[in-house]
Structure 1
Amino acid sequence: MNGARPLALALVLATLLTGCVGLPSEGPVVEAEVAGERNEDQVSSFDPRPPQPGDSRLEIVNGFLDAMMGWPIATSVAKEYLTDDAAEEWSPDATVIYGELAPPREDGSSVTIRMRDATLLDDSGSWRGALPPGRSTLRYQLTIEDGEFRILDPMDALVVRSTWFDERYQQASLYYFDPAAQVLVPEPVFVPVGETFATNLAGALLAGPPSRLHGVVRTFIPAGLSVGLSVPVIDGIATLDLQGNAPRTSAASAELILAQLAATLAQEPSIKALRVTIGGEEVEPPGAATEYDVGSAAAYDPAATGSAGVLYGLRRGRVVSGSVDDLRVVDGPLGRKRNRFDSVAVAPVGDRVAAVSANRRRVVVARLRSPGRRSAVRTLVPDGTDVAQPSWDASGRLWILERGPEGARVLVSDDGVGVRPVRVPGVSHTDARRILVSRDGTRLVALVNRPGGDRIVTARVVLGLDGQVDRVVDSSVIRTLPGRHPIDLAWTAAAQISVLSPAGELFEVETFAVDGATVGVDTLSTMVAGKVLGLAGEPYPETPVYAVTREAIIDIRTCANLSACGERLDATRVLDVDYAG
């Protein structure tokens, strides 16, 4: 998986789509006001007011809440509202974001305030979802210290308003490796914007992955390092003088360290290359280079497989591939002979194809192309029950969803020879209808049917050092869709998915971050007219996302008039059009 395209395009996850709403009857796609459109030049500084002599309990609490929203971020003034002991112990590493505050209630020496629409970022900056009602109330106990009211027991978190957060934070990604050290894995986090953006990214990466990701990702950056005061960037070259004690790095480890740093810091557009030292010792790039080009990390990008932009489908029972206007039968066993298939999925590296039979009971795998005409067709599932379209990751693991009378069963093939069941919390034994696996193989997304509306569930895949699936953990619901029953899912960036749902006589394509974040990110909602059968998307922000109808294919990212545009498919009907994955 050598760099098929520049890392600035292939790996940057902060470029989530600008929000828009498509009008399918006439007129252009209309820009909508969305969270996440941040311009650091428009974010004004704010020096919070310290406590004043004679402040009441309510004034102290309100002053503390205001002080936590100082900008640039600093907690020195906020600590003045606390007792001396509380100020020393207060560790606001997490962040609580609220929509509104209910009127405060004073009861003796305590002040209680209920937060509306409260959500949580953990100490790594990762989105952890909505706070349950029992944790959505702020309770402050006050006492008198040196003749003034002060807070005794603050929550160990910055507590900030969502409008403040939207203007000042950006979702980006920290890059780790999968356990086998084959591919980079993006972990979305929120980082303050501004001149310290690159420094904050580097510092967060050096802190290492959170414990909940043990077995999911690994880092090659030695523990205990710090980034220092800043990451200076001169003429596109970022210099990282990492402080701390670390063993001397081998050439192999040095390359992996540089790849993690480069993939992460490439999200700062001004950075083109890195120079890195650890404890004064230079981390030498491969070859004779004096600095490490950030594009070099694309060698570990699981999306850079060389198949970007290639479409696949079925025509008259044969597998076809190519572009919208030139889909040709593949020279492989599933292209040479006509079959009755319900769906197909091509491996991201473009070497193998999995096909589900028309009765959805059988899954076969074969080489996509085999000019020698000697390639065999291997049956992976001989007698399944209502099998959905499979999903591949870039390391060649194939995931299969079987929907039986006792609920969903997830199967995985690590080697393309056999399959075995894997329990997926929140998906196994439910009415799951579709699964997708990220290109890096560490994240599973499922569409789970429920009577009142479907759910989008994500879970993390724990891999062994040999690359085989060990177990699936950390399942969570990232979207509930009241009254809606989507029919398809697609990756549209490395940490972003799109969902296709019927909406009356129209179809809606909704795009959101795969961690489920609802503030600080951009969203896209597009309405499409006509009978839409599915979505074709892949994890490149610049690749078209297609809504596929029986007769045409519509790029919902760029089409200015969805009722008038769209490219017609081949005159001979093509089914199940999709990208690899």
Structure 2
Amino acid sequence: MTERRVRVRLRRRWVALAAVVPALLLAACVQVPFSGPVQPGGEVEGNIDAEFDFLPSGPAEGASQEEILAGFLAATTASQNNYRIARQYLAEDAQQVWNPYAGTLVRSREGIVARVDDSTLSYTAAVSAEVDGLGRYSSAGESPQELAPFRFVEEEGEWRIAELQDGILISQQAFPSAFSQHSAYYYDPAFQNLVPDLRWFPTRAEVASRIVRAVLEAPTSWLEGAVVSAVPEGAALAAPVTVTGGVAQVDLTDEVLLIDDAQRRALKRQLEASLRNVSNVASVQLTVDQNPVQVTDGPLGLDVPPQVDARLLVRTEESFGFVGASGVEPLGLLSERVLDLQATAVTLGPSGTLAAALTDAGVWSVRTGEAPAALLDARAGLIAPSVDGYSFLWTTTASGAGGIRATELNGTIHAVEAPIAEGDRVVSIDVSRDDARMLLLLDGGSGPRLVVAAIIRDVQSNVPVRLGRFEELPIVGGTPIDAAWVDEVRVAALVSDVDGALAQLLEIGGRSRSLGRPADAVQLVGGNGGAEGLRALTVDGVVLEPRGSGWQSTGARAVFLGIQQ
């Protein structure tokens, strides 16, 4: 094999690891659709450590090159003991240098194996997704790719793989059991909220250490400018993370000793949030050279993820408030003002004392106290507003005329730059509960677009300045209706096609699937509890909830559903 062919680009190097996944592996895995039309399915499981092991067999005596390759690929789904079984398929020298953690490619269907010469095989496959060495997932194209070849040698009369490149490739059917998802957390610049960055790691490969290494690095690029880290510059993990009695010992380099106690407290909280879904981890002990670093208690008790009132917020013909056992429970003067304004859409802020209300006249701030409702944006063609934890009301028109505004309660308007393409119609905007991200549903010339973007704020005043680059999410085609935050790393979109309304669940930095068809739905809102907390409103005012692969009536009726930020 020539030097040039060995040093192919990263994608080709990773895919060189995967030629064939045997029928046994395919039969053992749950079939999860990642290409073609979206079909109804079960709940996307998130933030869960798999509690079972897949143990493939080692190489059989007398196996051919093709059989060795197939066995190796099956074994790369088992990361136990540093991919011990997979390494048995490699020549002795290759076992020492192969790094399976450099990255992962996920193939969407079977590839084609071809022989290059007596000791070399090549492979062509379609790759649907990539996971880099820090666990960042990204979708990839479906077109066939000719992948880098790899070479075999005989050792003691048996074929073994002698040349291969770092990383692994597995089927999309095997991916959910071979990898688990976790969030690496960062702070907003004010250190008021923890912001998640979804990552994927092999389920049995020192997950805690890999999460910590991810946190010590920069966030995914589209979040830059909206998040910061408590990690001191230059800090690194000095030893693998160990867990004893529920305490994860994170041994870092001595940069940690140079920061003050407030930053160490923030760092400890950042790591605890990031490790919270690792089995048996309840807290973190920072150490340097295995010696404990003292961190005093402080006020950084942030909710992860942030929660809202579990009750449904609705506007009925007679009232506005939370649905309770005895009917709709109003929010005092705020509810009275919403009714007086004849609002057509309301977003309730995290404090529960401030709301943004849309009426025929424009968007109003509505509060529970003595302050009267105030008209803050009177532009024509406004869509449903959003509100954030800093009491900015977010507004824009469907046409995009006048751009996105973030308005203070005193009426001060701040124009927010956003990379909305000319001709795109804005269907919905929703600020995340961590105040660091914006979800936008757009209707463009080529169809619907669902995007998330970082909210870049002035560091001193927290005034929103601009949205970062748009991170596209793979929404289905049709006419966009509505979108909502499901939880801190998942969103949902409602689109209408020839068969009616279709709801879709999408992970930000992960996979997507259908949530079925809520018949005649015109609005979608999130709550708590993931996808089970979603509610849809039909054109006839019936409130629906997801049940299995379908939607059923909750028994409640509404004019519109209130959004809880």
TM-score using structure 1 length: 0.75
Per the alignment, residue 536 of structure 1 pairs with 525
> Do the aligned partners of 2:106 and 2:172 also contact (CA within 8 Å) in 1?
yes
2:272 is paired with a residue of what secondary structure?
A: helix
One-letter amino acid matched to 1:432: V
Structure 1 440/429 Cα, relative in aligned 2: closer, same or farther at 3 Å? farther
- Structure 1 residue 253: deviation in Å? 1.4
Give distance in 2, aligned partners of 1:443 and 1:499: 16
Structure 1 218/61 Cα, relative in aligned 2: closer, same or farther at 3 Å? same
Partner deviation per Cα, 1:157-200 (whole Å, 9 max, x = no partner): 32222233221211121111112211100111112324844444
1:283 equivalenced with 2:294 (yes/no): yes
One-letter amino acid matched to 2:350: P
Per the alignment, residue 568 of structure 1 pairs with 556
- How is 1:326-405 mapped onto 2 (pairs within 5 angstroms)? 326-328=328-330, 330-332=332-334, 335=337, 338-358=340-360, 362-366=362-366, 368-370=367-369, 372=370, 375-384=371-380, 386-404=381-399
One of 498, 508, 517 as aligned partner of 1:514: 508
> Do the aligned partners of 2:319 and 2:328 also contact (CA within 8 Å) in 1?
no
Give distance in 1, aligned partners of 2:272 and 2:164: 41
Per the alignment, residue 229 of structure 1 pairs with 240
Give distance in 2, aligned partners of 1:379 and 1:37: 42
Give distance in 1, aligned partners of 2:135 and 2:459: 27
Higher relative contact order (CA 8 A, sep 6+): 1
Say how many residue pairs are matched.
518
Give distance in 2, aligned partners of 1:230 and 1:179: 28
Give distance in 2, aligned partners of 1:488 and 1:497: 11
- Structure 1 residue 497: deviation in Å? 1.6
TM-score using structure 2 length: 0.77
- Structure 1 residue 120: deviation in Å? 0.8
Partner deviation per Cα, 1:454-473 (whole Å, 9 max, x = no partner): 23222223334232334323
One of 293, 298, 302 as aligned partner of 1:299: 302
One of 109, 113, 133 as aligned partner of 1:104: 113
Per the alignment, residue 421 of structure 1 pairs with 415
- Structure 1 residue 83: deviation in Å? 11
One-letter amino acid matched to 1:348: P
One-letter amino acid matched to 2:235: G
Per the alignment, residue 277 of structure 2 pairs with 267
Per the alignment, residue 74 of structure 1 pairs with 82
Give ranges in structure 1 of 5+ residues lacking alignment.
Answer: 1-17, 21-29, 288-295
Structure 1 212/435 Cα, relative in aligned 2: closer, same or farther at 3 Å? closer
Structure 1 528/32 Cα, relative in aligned 2: closer, same or farther at 3 Å? same
- Structure 1 residue 74: deviation in Å? 3.0
Structure 1 315/44 Cα, relative in aligned 2: closer, same or farther at 3 Å? closer
Give distance in 2, aligned partners of 1:114 and 1:416: 61
- Structure 1 residue 119: deviation in Å? 0.8
- Structure 1 residue 233: deviation in Å? 3.3
One-letter amino acid matched to 2:562: D
Structure 1 552/285 Cα, relative in aligned 2: closer, same or farther at 3 Å? farther
1:525 equivalenced with 2:536 (yes/no): no
One of 440, 444, 455 as aligned partner of 2:438: 444
2:479 is paired with a residue of what secondary structure?
A: coil
- Structure 1 residue 215: deviation in Å? 1.8
2:242 is paired with a residue of what secondary structure?
A: coil
Structure 1 362/199 Cα, relative in aligned 2: closer, same or farther at 3 Å? same
One-letter amino acid matched to 2:416: V
> Do the aligned partners of 1:329 and 1:336 also contact (CA within 8 Å) in 2?
no
Give distance in 2, aligned partners of 1:381 and 1:357: 10
> Do the aligned partners of 1:19 and 1:34 also contact (CA within 8 Å) in 2?
no
Structure 1 348/432 Cα, relative in aligned 2: closer, same or farther at 3 Å? same
Over the aligned positions, Cα root-mean-square deviation in angstroms equals 4.2
> Do the aligned partners of 1:434 and 1:488 also contact (CA within 8 Å) in 2?
yes
Structure 1 349/145 Cα, relative in aligned 2: closer, same or farther at 3 Å? same
- Structure 1 residue 441: deviation in Å? 2.2
- How is 1:547-566 mapped onto 2 (pairs within 5 angstroms)? 547-549=536-538, 550-556=540-546, 565-566=553-554
